[in-house]
Chains A and B, each alone.
Chain A
Amino acid sequence: MIQLTRRALAGLLLTAALTVSFAPAAPAFDGRTITDITGREVQVPTDPARVFAAGPPAAVLLYTLKPQAMIGWVSAPKPEAAPFLLPEAAALPELGRLTGRGDTLNLEVLLSANPDLIVDYGAVNDTYIDLAGRIQEQSGVPYALIDGSFAHMSQGIREMADILGVPERGEELATYADRTLADLDALLAGIPESDRPTVYLARGSEGLETPARGSINAEIIERIGARNVTAAETQGLTSVSPEQVQAWAPEVIITIDRDFAANVGNMPEWQGIPAVTNGRVYLAPSAPFGFIDAPPSVNRLAGLIWLSHKLYPTAATGDLRTEIADFYGLFYGIRPDEAVLTDLLGE
């Protein structure tokens, strides 16, 4: 057994005293306390000016609500996204990701960017809840997590806007989201089950990676009233064989991969699938953010509009081009002209 000598005891006490006295004093707090989706109480500044979005879906929502408060991207926007973004936002540095598959962000890098708030938006599960608490504890920066599912869409926008100190802007976008979803439900009410197509969502240049039913990456297919043919054992991204897709025989294929969309007509193993035979393979627009996925955030509202015209061409009312231009004007602050729209929608 270790004998604790008086000297050692004194040393221990001294160390403890030093640790306490050098610990950072709690900063004078001018803000308020909110409770986020995880039930944690988070003290947020009244008007946060430097905000970091922890994942790509959060970055999209933050950008649409308060672009001037962004301090960086999880992953830099692709070059084709730049024309749709504010120049100062497009030029922000890539800091790395804090959540999801593998952290690439060094906390010291994050702290040297001096954020006064971290927000995350998207899937809420124990891992993300725990992560939020840990990062907040370790970095001392408040970290709020908001549910990003479709069911929670307008409420999530309001919550995020409230935290960011831009409630009017949030109300504007949330109202739009409510109206878009209500319009969709009205449209769906007139479409019998039998007229709703089966859909396969193809990712990867071979088209063989696909999100299964229940995955947030495929959530939009169910929200639009169609049936995702990929019913797999997991709720994430899976890999399937072309024979499996033949067996599912989807009526519509939606893809986010340009190569696959261009080549599927000539790929022998895809022939005979109704979607390919009938020319119903649709490449989802992806600038500045994907319509379907990549990332699954409020950009999917544009995806709902686009899909309602692709899946229900006879029932969908309204002009697709005008509606998409409206969405871009409201959410991204840039109203595309006709030429840009044509390019964007691939028409």
Chain B
Amino acid sequence: MSDRRLTGLLALGLVAALLIAAATGPFALSPSKILAVLGGDRSDPQAVTVLWNIRLPRVLAAAVVGAALAAAGAAYQTTFRNPLVSPDILGVSAGAGFGAVLGILLGLPVMAIQFLGFGVGLATVGLVLGLTLALRGTGQVLVMVLCGIAIGALASAGISLVKLLADPEQQLPAITFWLMGSLAGVKRADLGAATPALLIGIAPLLALRWRIGLLAMGDDEARAMGINATRLRILVIACATLMTAAAVALAGIIGWIGLMVPHMARLITGPRFDRMLPAAILIGAGFMVLVDTAARSIATLEVPLGILTSALGAPVFVWLLARGARPWSE
């Protein structure tokens, strides 16, 4: 199948997922009502509120978060030449989580909590990169990953400390729910605040996807083809971190998407990064939209996304492994 036809099919799938999501929810809205409201009908204010202020922002946020996590995971896996890498490898999720729960502990407004999560997530990865440079490890990637594990563990300890200090009646439940990941509270303003960071992160990855793919062949080969591997790698890490931090700030910690979706995409397109990335973005967006639709439909209570993605992700991942030895990189 040609790239263009494949991308078109996946885009069609995403549109279908978006339509299903927009038509599903605990507030009963008939398809004709939805079309009328989308067409500008204001006669039923509650339907307008539900569709414009609650459901559509949430569906779009799910698409954006899924795309960002999948793209970040694909970029990390390729640049680190490791199939087990996910977007939180350098501690960004733990860092963003720590920032956000600190915000909850301090009783900050929701926007400030998200901003603090975003900022601390970026700072964590900055710290990891700074440490890597300071240590000047010969095998740079390995040193970087180990620094990420160490700083990530520190941030996790910080989260535990905040939980200990939190008021168990009020703050502890809020922290627990936040850490499990959810899009329940997403507003239009949140979406507007997070989308620029996500676009800024995803655009260079798409533009440079062919070159980034060369990194998977090893630094020497990449250099032989005239690419500054170190600089490109730093750029990819910066973009992927920006997107992951924004996604975590918007939706809390959602595991597995960034690890699993790139593998699903690779199964369809093969290992070449320039072909795999667009597929991963579309699959990630569609998958997340469907998972979030399930999260708000299968029960009256919100099923946290982190639980669903793990429950769905782990079996799918094992199935992918069982399907056998497809190369993950060229």
With a CB–CB cut-off of 8 A, which chain A residues contact B300? Answer: 230-233, 240, 244
Q: How far in angstroms is the closest Cβ of chain A from B313?
A: 21
Of all chain B residues, which has the CB nearest A211?
Answer: B173
Any A CB within 8 A of the CB of B3: no
A104-B164 CB under 8 A given contacts A239-B182, A240-B300, A247-B26: yes
CA distance A102 to B45 in the complex (A): 44
- Where chain A touches its partner, the secondary structure class is loop
With a CB–CB cut-off of 8 A, which chain A residues contact B184? Answer: 208, 239-242
Kindly specify which of A35-43, A128-136, A268-276, A307-315 makes contact with the partner chain: A268-276
With a CB–CB cut-off of 8 A, which chain A residues contact B107? Answer: 205
Q: How far in angstroms is the closest Cβ of chain B from A262?
A: 11
8 Å CB contact of B168 from A100, A241, A247, A273: A100
Any B CB within 8 A of the CB of A56: yes
A-side interface residues, number (CB < 8 Å): 41
Q: Are A243 and B55 in contact (CB under 8 A)?
A: yes
Of all chain A residues, which has the CB nearest B113?
Answer: A205
Q: Are B299 and A75 in contact (CB under 8 A)?
A: no
Q: Are A269 and B187 in contact (CB under 8 A)?
A: yes
A272-B45 CB under 8 A given contacts A241-B54, A241-B302: yes
Q: Are A246 and B168 in contact (CB under 8 A)?
A: no
Mask, B36-54, CB within 8 Å of A = 1, is: 0000000001100110011
A203-B27 CB under 8 A given contacts A231-B300, A244-B300, A268-B49: no
Q: Are A75 and B168 in contact (CB under 8 A)?
A: yes
Any B CB within 8 A of the CB of A342: no
Any B CB within 8 A of the CB of A301: no
With a CB–CB cut-off of 8 A, which chain A residues contact B173? Answer: 203-204, 209, 237
Q: Are B169 and A56 in contact (CB under 8 A)?
A: yes
Mask, B179-191, CB within 8 Å of A = 1, is: 0001011011000
CA distance A101 to B169 in the complex (A): 9
With a CB–CB cut-off of 8 A, which chain B residues contact A97? Answer: 168
With a CB–CB cut-off of 8 A, which chain A residues contact B301? Answer: 212, 232-234, 238-240
Any B CB within 8 A of the CB of A171: no
Q: Are B110 and A243 in contact (CB under 8 A)?
A: no
| Residue of B28, B54, B58, B167 most packed against chain A (CB within 10 A) | B54
A246-B185 CB under 8 A given contacts A205-B110, A237-B173: no
**Which parts of A189-214 form the interface with B (CB within 8 Å)?**
203-206, 208-209, 212
Any B CB within 8 A of the CB of A294: yes
8 Å CB contact of A75 from B110, B167, B182: B167
> Which A residues form the contact surface with B (CB < 8 A)?
56, 75, 97, 100-102, 104, 203-206, 208-209, 212, 230-234, 237-244, 246-247, 256-257, 259, 267-269, 271-273, 293-295
